[in-house]
Amino acid sequence: MRAVWLERQKLFPRDDLPPPRMDDGEALLRVRLAGICGTDLQLLRGYYPYAGIPGHEFVGEVVEASDESWIGRRVVGDINVACGQCPACRSDRARHCERRSVLGIRDRAGAFAEYLTLPLDNLHRVPDNVPDEAAVFAEPLAAALEIQEQTPIHPGDRVLVVGAGRLGQLIAQTLALTGCDLRVVARHSRQREILALSGISTVMESEVASRQFDIVVEASGSPTGFELARRAVRPQGTLILKSTYAGELTLNLSSLVVDELTLVGSRCGPIDAALRLLGKQAVDPAPLIECRYPLSAALAAFEHAARPGVLKVLLEP
């Protein structure tokens, strides 16, 4: 099997790997498209000591499963595989299972390969009217929707998104559906142009007023972005963190206490809700696609994805 291998913060092309072995209750999927995201780039920088096949944004086709009704279906998947028995699982917090594996991130081979495996319970059927090029965004779109699962956002709320990259664009599109008073910090002209297609207002960093926003979402993945987000949120406001960082941030905890801020970490979200939005075309990820590379050119694809301002780079096994 052809795949991309990550080890010691280096990528290696591989064509000598066996297809993954299914465990009970799992399905074997042929990957149709996979997307490179910020977390993949952070893994390459040492965010988490993962060795194996990276990649967790994908759309695939079931080629083998114990339940034959799944065979031939186009699917996307929840990336967290829970044990079902630990206290977190028993408390309906399976996403934070103490023994979980995470596709392409922790103890489970990922999507930058010709095949992958996931439990049937993790799979979601892709609606017929959603093309692969949209379905591959289901996982990051779900992560964007998780913000609204955690924090009520009302029409008129002053909301700022710091970062207009791969995830920031999807966050902005989903927040715009709430009717909030939304602004997005976007450094690059193409980012601003794409947001303008959805009628979303953008600002430059120098234009962000201090302590004026009810809710601020940090999606830049940079310490300077975090500092801007922290400065922008008003007292008793909410700061939502969507970035994973390689390394550490400097944070004045006393200021959080004095300003009585709510700090929310936000990760994965509801895949079904993401697919419904894609099916209704309420969110359009197509303008975010920068380019497509064959899996054999994955190293070049990663180099491309790491350039400033680049949006979604897809791999096509």
Tell me what the mean pLDDT of segment 184-189 comes to.
Answer: 95
Does pLDDT of 146 surpass 80? yes
Quote the DSSP letter at residue 202: E
pLDDT tens, position by position, 21-32:
999 999 999 999
Most confident option among 20-24, 40-44, 237-241: 237-241
Pairing of strands 213-218, 201-203: unpaired
Residue 241 pLDDT exceeds 90: yes
Band of residue 145 on the pLDDT scale cut at 50, 70, 90: very high
pTM for this entry: 0.95
**Which tens digits make up the pLDDT trace of 200-227?**
999 999 999 999 999 999 999 888 999 9
pLDDT at 246: 63
Question: Is residue 281 predicted with pLDDT exceeding 90?
Answer: yes
How many angstroms separate the CA atoms of 317 and 120, rounded? 22
**pLDDT of 248 over the 80 cut:** no
Q: What is the pLDDT of residue 228?
A: 96
What's the whole-number mean pLDDT along residues 12-38?
Answer: 95
Output the pLDDT for position 48.
Answer: 84
Query: For residue 77, is pLDDT > 90?
Result: yes
